[in-house]
A and B are shown apart, each in its own frame.
Chain A
Amino acid sequence: MVEWTDAERKAIIGLWGKIDVGEIGPQALSRLLIVYPWGQRYFKAFGDLSTNAAIMGNPKVAQHGKTVMGGLENAVKNLDNIKQTYAKLSAMHSEKLHVDPDNFRVLAECISLCVAAKFGPSVFTAEVQEAWQKFLSVVVSALGRQYH
């Protein structure tokens, strides 16, 4: 089981409290689709993703980004039980959605970048970065867990 120090718990919960999922989620997903364009294959039903501007203005991308980011709330509230918290979601991404689990890692990267850009170095300090990236890597691992 993952061990969290008190400082890490505080950093994760503190940072989460400042994050507006409606703001960061859409940005992170847009960046994923622009920086790692093969990710677009999962979103054929979203309409126009043909240019960066189209992606950034696409309301389905924005909504989905908000949904995914909001899903992190479960992990923040269940830091000691992330694997079980995401077991069903992991199975769904594997068996139903057929999402390559490496995409969880790159989405986590985009989320961290958006958070860094939003809050700057005085809030997203090295210490906070450590806790946040550790947290996201546990989430990524949990989401990949049910894959065979």
Chain B
Amino acid sequence: MVKWTELERSTVKAIWEKIDIDEIGSQIWARVLIVYPWTERYFGSFGDLFTITAILKNDKVAAHGRMVLKALDKAVNNMDNMKRTYADLSRLHFQKLEVDPDSFRLLADCITITIACKFKSALSPQSQAIWQKFISAVVDAMSSQYR
């Protein structure tokens, strides 16, 4: 089980509280699809993803990003229990959606970059270290039901 100090807990919560899910969520998903275009394979039903402009305008992309970001709320509120919190979601991504678990790491990268863009120097090196520890615990939890 991952151990969290009081400082780590409060830093993760402080960062999370400043995140506007509507604003950040849509950006994150656009970045995943543009920076790592092979991830488009999972989104055949989203319509036009053929150009960067199309991806940036696509409502389904924006909505999906917001949905995924909302799900991070569970991790923030269950930092001591992430594996169990995400067990069902992990199994869904493995068995039903057949998502390559490396994709979770790519998504984590885009979330961190988007936050850095938003927070700028307020994301201090210490905060970055804590945030990256948190998000990699989420990535581990999402990969945990894969065999």
Contact = CB atoms under 8 A, between A and B. Distances in A.
A39 to B, nearest CB: 12
Nearest to B52: A127
A77 interface: no
Interface of B: 27, 30-31, 34-35, 37, 52, 55-56, 109, 112-114, 116-121, 123, 125-126, 128-129, 132
A124 B114 CA distance: 9
Contact of B125 (A31, A112, A124): A31
17 contacts: A30-B125, A52-B125, A52-B126, A113-B123, A113-B128, A116-B113, A116-B114, A117-B116, A117-B120, A117-B121, A121-B27, A124-B117, A126-B31, A126-B56, A127-B34, A129-B35, A130-B34
Contacts of B113: 112-113, 116, 124, 129
Contacts of B35: 126, 129-130, 133
Q: How large is the interface on A (under 10, 10 to 19, 20 to 34, 35 or more residues)?
A: 20 to 34
A117 B34 CA distance: 19
Contact of A120 (B30, B109, B120): B120
A56 interface: yes
Nearest to A116: B116
Contacts, number: 62
A106 to B, nearest CB: 10
B52 A126 contact: yes
A4 B34 CA distance: 15
A34 B126 contact: yes
B119 A129 contact: no
Most buried by A among B30, B113, B118, B123: B113
Contacts of B123: 113, 117
A88 interface: no
Nearest to B120: A117
Interface in A69-121: 109, 112-114, 116-121
Contacts of A52: 125-126
